[in-house]
Homo-oligomer: A and B are copies of this chain.
Amino acid sequence: MAITVVGSVAFDSIETPAGRRERCLGGAATYFSLAASFFTDVRVIAVVGEDFGRRQEEVFQSHNIDTRGIEHTAGKSFFWEGSYLDNLNEAKTHNTELNVFAAFEPKIPESYRDSEFLFLANIDPVLQRRVREQMPDVKLVAGDTMNYWIKDHHAALLEVLKGLDILLINDTEARMLAGNNNLVLAARAVLALGPEALVVKHGEYGATLFRGADSKVHGAKCFRAPALPLEEVVDPTGAGDSFAGGFFGYLASKTEQSPAAFRRAMFYGSVMGSFACERFGTERLQQLTRKEIDDRFNIFRELTHLD
């Protein structure tokens, strides 16, 4: 089943202990789409400037990602510059230029309207909600957000949460959103805001899925996927979006989103996140094969299973 994703398509200049890259193709919607494209059809809604050319378009095309919803306007694409020199778990932002993204008004192509899955990547919750409202019949809606929206756009974000089936955020964001430092209690509080399921990403320690309003952890409603211990994290940019793409892409590839499918989706999310870190930007995702993905899925199984 097809996923429509709305979010940023951007250029990133990134510095990590492994080196530096100028103006890589990036943005949450890009990472998400590439990761999800290995599992199902993906359709992107975004806005880009004149610097987004045939080479960038080709990255999407070669993964059969529908780009009819990428609006091309005069000006430059969203640009982000950041580094991870002190701490690979946290980016230090040096420069953010919203450029054409500042006036982004998501427009949903007619051909996207039969999408059964919708992913609202990390953008202004007002825009997330607008897209959500225009696609009332989707089967499953997932979304992401970040500290900035949690802190300064709380009311708008709460409206988005009411329309979400699955929220994917990291530890810090979950604790901030709930106002509670205990992860179980924070998860319960977040689930009470709307989502049926919450995925909390722990970076190098994996991720936890909480399901149901009571988020029972002493039962079947909680599931932990590991992350792969990596010898070298070349660039963690986009790992969370790639996790979301693997997770949601896998779910969308199933006719039924059973608890068992959710567990596998968590593993595929971690798998895609681990690949994303291995090269700068989307380099690794661009070169990936489905066989490599399934091989790594089996490594994750071996890494965590008793037998």
Contacts and interface: CB of A to CB of B under 8 A. Distances in A.
B183 A204 contact: yes
Interface in A218-237: 218-220, 222-224, 226, 228-233
Interface stretch (A4-12, A67-75, A259-267, A282-290): A259-267
A302 interface: yes
Contact of A218 (B184, B299, B304, B305): B299
B229 A303 contact: no
B267 A222 contact: no
Given A206-B205, A219-B299, A299-B218, A229 B305 contact: no
A39 to B, nearest CB: 16
B302 A305 contact: no
Contacts of A232: 182
A202 interface: yes
B302 A184 contact: no
A182 B306 CA distance: 26
A127 to B, nearest CB: 32
A304 B182 contact: no
Contacts of A184: 229-231
A110 B303 CA distance: 41
Nearest to A226: B224
Given A182-B230, A260-B306, 12 more contacts: A88-B181, A182-B232, A183-B229, A184-B229, A187-B229, A202-B205, A206-B224, A208-B229, A224-B303, A226-B304, A263-B306, A305-B305
29 contacts: A88-B181, A182-B231, A183-B204, A184-B229, A184-B230, A184-B231, A185-B231, A187-B229, A205-B205, A208-B229, A217-B229, A217-B230, A217-B231, A219-B299, A219-B302, A220-B302, A222-B229, A223-B303, A224-B304, A226-B226, A226-B304, A260-B306, A260-B307, A263-B306, A264-B306, A267-B306, A301-B306, A304-B304, A305-B305
